[in-house]
């Protein structure tokens, strides 16, 4: 906010305060993250023997970045008032932002490794603007932990929220979290979180730069240098190129699984979810600790997500779609690996059901499958007619089409919906299965969408407008007849 505050409000502001001087140290990782391209360019120039250009580039970049950090620290001040927090920042372009305490939903803490070592914390004030995507709205990047706790206690006291001696929202039962994850469950969650993106990225790297850096597990030469000559595994791998391809694929899969495991352990270590007077409090992290509050009144929907393997073992991920943001997202993971009955206990604490009564579920139209099959039919006929010319390529396309139809039918089998009292339940997908739980009162709009193709089959999609959320906020019921969709829309908006 750039407008000047009213004189009465200004008089109620406290003295100007700066971020902790050690911000000049805790801000360095962010500088490195933003300048990695220049540092990589310097390393490339150094490898080509252009040392003086590389040194000039790196030293200049580091100097400029540190000066920017210093100016940011010198020119940022904040003042805590009776009714608002005022943050003044900028040098050439000056901004004065006022954040009224009655607009603050909660105060979240985050501690990276340097913050924890130095007894500092990053503070973020959750506001209505945060739900609109302004991640940096109301952020104090580095202040002392004692000052942060005092600030949180001051804001919560002003809002009439329960406060303990340390400033935290009062936990109903500190000794008994509503959900927690031990090391074994965290490791299990990591095994399910293997990254296909990492596998694809590693494969692309091996095919482009693998030979130059000596890492191409799809070549026999890579394995001959890695395995002992007397090793029977070596004989199997190097006997045929297919052996190297299989071994390379297995290595990339292991790397993908290992990456998911490490990432999950770092993020979910010590996961603890407590029920508070106003909602939930989630604490987690091994290297970077986060302490986030999720007000129950700001929760707009719940999402239970799973996949074929995870679902086979009875595991789900529970997320809450909220107006308050979790970093850059509006989907708060409140249980990374949970049984359905455990998810039910979490939702029951805010008086939400986890599933409707069995007889309430309703199927979607089978045109969801037939429309997909018919649109693929011309391409399938062309592939059949060109088998003699294209051979394995045509057969591969036919196999891929058959697999796509099979997945589509599995999607149809698991896609259903139910309106049970004031809660709408939507289950969709097979590979990425999810169950959305949306209170009717949280639905802002209902759209009926159809294409020329779906209209030919007499079906349309019902899409819900629900506030907040990120990538998981698309709630829709596909393949409804027009009369079904209009009747359901009338029920939801009644």
CATH number, domain of 483, equals 2.30.29.30
- Upper half-sphere CA count for residue 48 (Cβ side, 13 Å): 11
279 or 385, higher pLDDT: 279
- By the 10 Å C-beta count (0-12 exposed, 13-18 middle, 19+ buried), 324 is classed as buried
Please list, in sequence order, all residues whose beta carbon lies within 8 angstroms of the beta carbon of residue 23, skipping any fewer than 6 positions away: 69, 73, 141, 142
Shortest CA distance to 107 belongs to which of 125, 82, 84? Answer: 125
Cα–chain-centroid distance for residue 314?
Answer: 22
Shortest CA distance to 213 belongs to which of 42, 57, 47, 37? Answer: 47
How far apart CA 324 and CA 57 sit, in angstroms, is 41
Query: Given pLDDT bands bounded at 50, 70 and 90, which one contains residue 395?
Result: confident
Query: Given pLDDT bands bounded at 50, 70 and 90, which one contains residue 326?
Result: low
- Average pLDDT estimate for 210-233: 54
If asked whether residues 197 and 249 sit together in one domain, one would say yes
- Average pLDDT estimate for 291-311: 91
Starting from the edge strand earliest in sequence, which strands make up the sheet with 84-89, in order? 77-80, 84-89, 95-100
**Count of the separate structural domains present in the chain:** 3
If asked whether residues 228 and 142 sit together in one domain, one would say no
Q: What is the percent of the chain where pLDDT is above 70?
A: 75
Task: For 88-101, write each residue's pLDDT tens digit.
Answer: 888 888 888 888 88
Which of 233, 267, 301 corresponds to the end of one domain? 267
Asked if residue 4 has pLDDT above 60, the reply is no
- By the 10 Å C-beta count (0-12 exposed, 13-18 middle, 19+ buried), 108 is classed as buried
- Average pLDDT estimate for 351-369: 91
What pLDDT does residue 6 have?
42
For residue 299, tell me if it sits in a domain: no
If asked whether residues 241 and 105 sit together in one domain, one would say no
Shortest CA distance to 280 belongs to which of 225, 223, 333, 358? Answer: 333
If asked whether residues 121 and 196 sit together in one domain, one would say no
Which of 159, 181, 203 corresponds to the end of one domain? 159
What pLDDT does residue 132 have?
46
Placement of tokens 């129950």 in the chain: 296
Shortest CA distance to 281 belongs to which of 355, 153, 180, 209? Answer: 180
If asked whether residues 126 and 75 sit together in one domain, one would say yes
What pLDDT does residue 366 have?
96
For residue 342, tell me if it sits in a domain: no
For residue 328, tell me if it sits in a domain: no
- Distances from the Cα of 215 to the Cα of 70, 202, 220, 237, 257, angstroms: 41, 10, 11, 16, 19
- Distances from the Cα of 262 to the Cα of 25, 91, 257, 271, angstroms: 26, 41, 9, 15
Range of the domain at 253: 191-267
How far apart CA 494 and CA 486 sit, in angstroms, is 12
Asked if residue 154 has pLDDT above 70, the reply is yes
Tell me the chain's radius of gyration from C-alpha atoms: 28
If asked whether residues 448 and 367 sit together in one domain, one would say yes
User: Residue 72: helix, strand or coil by DSSP?
Assistant: helix
Please list, in sequence order, all residues whose beta carbon lies within 8 angstroms of the beta carbon of residue 310, skipping any fewer than 6 positions away: 192, 316, 317
Task: For 35-63, write each residue's pLDDT tens digit.
Answer: 666 666 666 666 666 777 777 777 777 78
What pLDDT does residue 33 have?
67
228 or 263, higher pLDDT: 263
Asked if residue 226 has pLDDT above 60, the reply is no
What pLDDT does residue 206 have?
57
* φ and ψ at residue 292, rounded to 5 degrees: -120, 135
If asked whether residues 23 and 154 sit together in one domain, one would say yes
For residue 95, tell me if it sits in a domain: yes
C-alpha torsion 58→64→68→74, nearest 10: 120
Mean pLDDT for the chain?
A: 81
- Average pLDDT estimate for 376-395: 81
Query: Given pLDDT bands bounded at 50, 70 and 90, which one contains residue 473?
Result: low
What pLDDT does residue 387 have?
77
User: What b-and-e string marks burial along 268-306, b requiring 16 or more CB atoms within 10 Å of the CB?
Assistant: beebebbbbebbbbbbbbeeebbbbbbbbebbbbbbbbb
What pLDDT does residue 248 have?
60
For residue 325, tell me if it sits in a domain: no
Shortest CA distance to 314 belongs to which of 354, 332, 334, 341? Answer: 341
What pLDDT does residue 304 have?
96
**Domain CATH for 35:** 2.30.29
Q: In sequence order, what are the beta bridge partners of 279? A: 295
DSSP 334: E
For residue 53, tell me if it sits in a domain: yes
If asked whether residues 34 and 101 sit together in one domain, one would say yes
Token pair recorded at residue 330: 């509006």
If asked whether residues 23 and 153 sit together in one domain, one would say yes
- Distances from the Cα of 251 to the Cα of 204, 217, 229, angstroms: 14, 8, 20
Query: Given pLDDT bands bounded at 50, 70 and 90, which one contains residue 3?
Result: very low
Task: For 100-146, write each residue's pLDDT tens digit.
Answer: 888 887 788 888 888 888 889 999 887 765 544 444 568 899 989 99
Task: For 405-447, write each residue's pLDDT tens digit.
Answer: 999 999 999 999 999 889 999 999 999 999 999 999 999 999 9
Token pair recorded at residue 238: 């190097």
For residue 368, tell me if it sits in a domain: yes
If asked whether residues 92 and 195 sit together in one domain, one would say no
DSSP H or E segment with residue 126: strand 120-127
What pLDDT does residue 302 have?
95
If asked whether residues 483 and 419 sit together in one domain, one would say yes
Task: For 165-209, write each residue's pLDDT tens digit.
Answer: 444 555 555 568 999 999 999 999 998 887 665 556 655 655 555
If asked whether residues 30 and 108 sit together in one domain, one would say yes
Asked if residue 375 has pLDDT above 80, the reply is yes
- By the 10 Å C-beta count (0-12 exposed, 13-18 middle, 19+ buried), 67 is classed as exposed
Please list, in sequence order, all residues whose beta carbon lies within 8 angstroms of the beta carbon of residue 213, skipping any fewer than 6 positions away: none
Please list, in sequence order, all residues whose beta carbon lies within 8 angstroms of the beta carbon of residue 241, skipping any fewer than 6 positions away: 220
25 or 271, higher pLDDT: 271
How far apart CA 238 and CA 219 sit, in angstroms, is 9
Which of 159, 174, 209 corresponds to the end of one domain? 159
For residue 287, tell me if it sits in a domain: no
Token pair recorded at residue 353: 């059901």
Which pTM does this prediction carry? Answer: 0.76
């Amino acid at each position: 906010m750039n407008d000047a505050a009213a004189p009465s409000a200004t008089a109620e502001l406290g003295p100007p305060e700066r971020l902790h001087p050690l911000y000049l140290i805790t801000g360095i990782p962010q500088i490195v993250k933003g300048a990695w391209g220049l540092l990589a360019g310097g390393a490339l120039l150094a490898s080509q023997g252009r040392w003086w250009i590389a040194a000039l580039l790196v030293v200049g970049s580091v100097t400029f970045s540190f000066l920017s950090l210093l100016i940011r620290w010198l020119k940022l001040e904040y003042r805590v008032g009776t009714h608002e927090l005022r943050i003044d920042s900028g040098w050439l372009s000056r901004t004065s932002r006022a954040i009224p305490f009655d607009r603050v939903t909660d105060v979240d803490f985050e501690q990276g490794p340097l913050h924890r070592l130095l007894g500092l914390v990053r503070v973020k004030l959750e506001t209505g603007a945060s739900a609109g995507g302004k991640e940096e709205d109301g952020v104090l990047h580095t202040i002392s932990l004692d000052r942060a706790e005092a600030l949180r206690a001051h804001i919560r006291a002003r809002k009439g929220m329960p406060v303990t001696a340390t400033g935290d929202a009062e936990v109903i039962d500190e000794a008994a979290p509503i959900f927690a994850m031990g090391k074994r469950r965290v490791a299990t969650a990591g095994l399910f979180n293997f990254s296909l993106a990492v596998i694809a990225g590693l494969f692309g790297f091996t095919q482009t730069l693998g030979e130059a850096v000596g890492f191409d597990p799809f070549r026999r030469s890579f394995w001959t240098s890695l395995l002992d000559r007397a090793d029977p595994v070596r004989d199997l791998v190097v006997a045929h190129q297919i052996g190297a391809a299989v071994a390379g694929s297995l290595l990339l899969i292991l790397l993908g699984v290992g990456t998911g495991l490490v990432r999950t352990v770092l993020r979910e270590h010590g996961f603890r979810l407590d029920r508070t007077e106003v909602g939930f409090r989630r604490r987690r992290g091994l290297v970077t600790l986060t302490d986030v509050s999720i007000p129950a009144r700001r929760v707009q929907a719940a999402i239970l997500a799973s996949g074929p393997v995870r679902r086979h073992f009875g595991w789900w991920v529970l997320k809450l779609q909220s107006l308050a943001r979790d970093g850059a997202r509006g989907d708060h993971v409140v249980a990374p690996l949970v049984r359905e009955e455990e998810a039910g206990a979490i939702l029951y604490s805010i008086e939400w059901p986890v599933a409707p009564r069995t007889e309430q579920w309703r199927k979607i139209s089978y045109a969801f499958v037939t429309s997909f099959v018919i649109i693929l039919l011309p391409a399938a006929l062309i592939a059949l007619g060109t088998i003699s010319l294209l051979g394995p390529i045509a057969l591969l396309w036919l196999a891929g089409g058959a697999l796509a139809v099979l997945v589509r039918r599995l999607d149809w089998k698991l896609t259903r919906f139910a309106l049970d009292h004031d809660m709408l339940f939507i289950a969709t997908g097979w590979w990425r299965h999810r169950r959305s739980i949306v209170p009717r009162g949280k639905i802002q709009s209902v759209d009926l969408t159809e294409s020329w193709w779906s209209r030919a089959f007499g079906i349309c999609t019902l899409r819900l407008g629900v506030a907040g959320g990120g990538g998981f906020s698309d709630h829709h019921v596909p393949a409804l007849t027009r009369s079904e969709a209009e009747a359901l829309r009338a029920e939801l908006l009644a």
